């Protein structure tokens, strides 16, 4: 036997270890202490409760995948903030008012982030006054609680495909608004995100809740 069978299953495994694995650095996981995690979650809850979104983000509803896909397949182009579509022979018209009522969140606040200063938003997100204004921000630069909010923004509030570790300017401005209590008109943003026809299908749970509230004749298999 031409390899150490106490350590390796084959000669190839031994060669792989000696030529490659032995020179690769370990990627050490970043573990959080219980106290750190609990305290940061408490901060996040405070921010979300302050703008009236906490209960919505903790809610749940059965999803009807086929109905959601039919909604997007029939979604009409619109220049107003109304999502018009057609599901199971029923015309569907989703307005910010309907979303606010369905989710129990305010239909008020800013509808775009142009008036939010980028540098001010960076300072709020990074929680430090001495940051480099031209720095390339990734999620690893952010405090833990802020990172959690960023994940909510990019996965739930304005979901998108791709990397969630490289926040856009809009993402950072959105996070800053949540942290400093600036009310954002989420129902308005949700409809505009739907109408933008992203390369994925966002808000399946929200749409399913709306379909149920409209008393559609929903088949047993969604």
Give the tens place of pLDDT for each residue, 143-192.
Answer: 999 999 999 999 999 998 777 688 999 999 999 999 999 999 999 999 99
How much is the average pLDDT of 203-218?
90
Indicate whether 25 and 67 sit together in one domain. no
Q: What is the pLDDT of residues 87-138, one digit of tens each?
A: 988 999 999 999 999 999 999 999 999 989 999 999 999 988 778 777 788 8
Q: Confirm whether 218 is domain-assigned.
A: no
Among residues of the chain, what percentage have pLDDT more than 90? 64
Indicate whether 11 and 115 sit together in one domain. no
Range of the domain at 58: 49-213
pTM of structure: 0.82
Q: What domain count does the chain have?
A: 2
Q: Confirm whether 42 is domain-assigned.
A: no
Indicate whether 111 and 19 sit together in one domain. no
Task: Count Cβ neighbours within 10 Å for each residue of 57-79 and write b for 16 or more, e otherwise.
Answer: eeeebeebeebbebbbeebeeee
Residue 169, CB-side half-sphere exposure with 13 Å CA sphere: 12
Indicate whether 116 and 165 sit together in one domain. yes
Q: Confirm whether 187 is domain-assigned.
A: yes
Indicate whether 185 and 84 sit together in one domain. yes
| Euclidean distance between CA atoms 115 and 58, whole angstroms | 30
């Amino acid at each position: 036997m031409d390899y150490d069978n106490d350590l390796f299953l084959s000669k190839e495994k031994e060669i792989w270890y000696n030529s490659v694995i032995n020179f690769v650095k370990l990627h050490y996981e970043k573990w959080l202490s219980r106290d750190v995690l609990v305290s940061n979650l408490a901060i996040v809850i405070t921010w979300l409760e302050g703008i009236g979104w906490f209960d919505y983000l903790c809610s749940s509803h059965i999803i009807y995948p086929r109905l959601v896909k039919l909604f997007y397949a029939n979604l009409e182009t619109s220049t107003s903030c109304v999502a018009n579509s057609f599901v199971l022979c029923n015309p569907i018209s989703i307005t910010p008012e309907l979303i606010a009522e369905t989710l129990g969140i305010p239909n008020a606040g800013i509808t775009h982030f142009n008036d939010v200063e980028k540098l001010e938003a960076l300072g709020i997100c990074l929680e430090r006054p001495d940051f480099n204004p031209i720095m390339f921000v990734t999620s690893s630069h952010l405090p833990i609680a802020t990172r959690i909010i960023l994940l909510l923004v990019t996965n739930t509030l304005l979901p998108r495909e791709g990397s969630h570790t490289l926040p856009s300017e809009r993402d950072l401005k959105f996070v800053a608004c949540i942290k400093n209590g600036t009310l954002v008109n989420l129902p308005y943003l949700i409809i505009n995100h739907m109408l933008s026809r992203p390369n994925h299908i966002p808000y399946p749970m929200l749409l399913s809740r709306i379909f149920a509230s409209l008393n559609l004749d929903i088949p047993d298999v969604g």
